[in-house]
Chain A
């Protein structure tokens, strides 16, 4: 119990800086995308093994809850891709760029660019969500 209290204290009192935030976002988005990807391969396999089951999956994907989750999923795909590209670029081409200053700058640019790229996706998919959920498209 004491260790749980310690963990709760540390979790709420430790303030992560840019690099750790990038790491946490990368991990969470990666796990979320893998979770959906596993389901998505199975639903696509239905096309061959059990075509009517594919329509059942699509009905779930068309539900309002899933449409919202899809918007978050796209945010995860954009961030994970950009940040992964940053890591690959630094590790393979510019290892000297792994300094705290450049890490902070590159993390902030990555998050900003991910948000900018996500905006049109959010508008299009958000529009679909509103149209199909409330306007009876």
Chain B
């Protein structure tokens, strides 16, 4: 045996933000990646030929606005740490797209997958969605088209799901602990995407105590065949590590061996750290396992000190349940049922209403969402939103590949809304033209 060389060159963008936390004893705190750093350094991971550590970029407010509608404004919804964390994800994406690395892992915090398209504050430890910010950056500057985001965090990535709900070019698959037993209480099999993107969102809720066997079965029976069919330009693993058997805020039985094997099967181009709060018992080993798996290296000895596969075995009824839910997931992709998607319409727009609670910021938001039913493109998206912090904001998104009508309608609505004083803040994301525009009626609202 001699020193290993990575089969895939891997860039690790490591930013543990040792001086930033939501609150000092919050699970998402300074200490979170301390032991991961110690483990990676002690293992000499960055000396392995083919594995390189990189410094993150810092995202700009334009990078945030390309993905999010932040109200009352973009800057007040985030800190420098969020910009560096998002910049870390962007850096990972650039390394891969520029060909400097085969694969990249953004081992950064704070995380982002609970941040939705509209942002009024922090929810689920997230303010801005770092994967989505990366994906939109890569689409804007590196010609990326189809993207698959496979979310293996224990919590349903309701933010990422929301951002890509209407996007047929983004496949979002989430494996998570069943929403009846865990925050944020969503991610049920019937959530399969909007009327123009049916089957582009796949949710596989797993019962508590699901172990390696269950997760890997979903990979083999759902994720891998679906990806083979979808043929994305880029596979992103939204790599939360809170399915671990030692995680203090969840109830699953996944292991470092399992996470590594999952990454071998998924073979993602990019992984972005999400949750994971067993900072001593899980993260050092899971992160090491993911790094080695992505680099194509041996990880057979990466086992937690208290790892006991026999004790972690899942019950037969869990295996049976996973099998059934996998069949549903597969069907939802290949033959997405119309019955699951709301067809409510008003003046040619599909409409839905929702209420969002920002548990980190204690804000409640009410939204009305309108998607123009267009036969030529994914359709103009219009969101009217009010929160306990600010009232009457308008979000307009002209999608990539928008038809002439949707483009003109979006621009017209932006101009019209500026003059009619109904909205305090307006943002337009104009993807075909590129860039965003903001308008604020200062004498209005607040």
A and B together in one complex: no
List residues of B whose CB falls within 8 A of some A CB: none
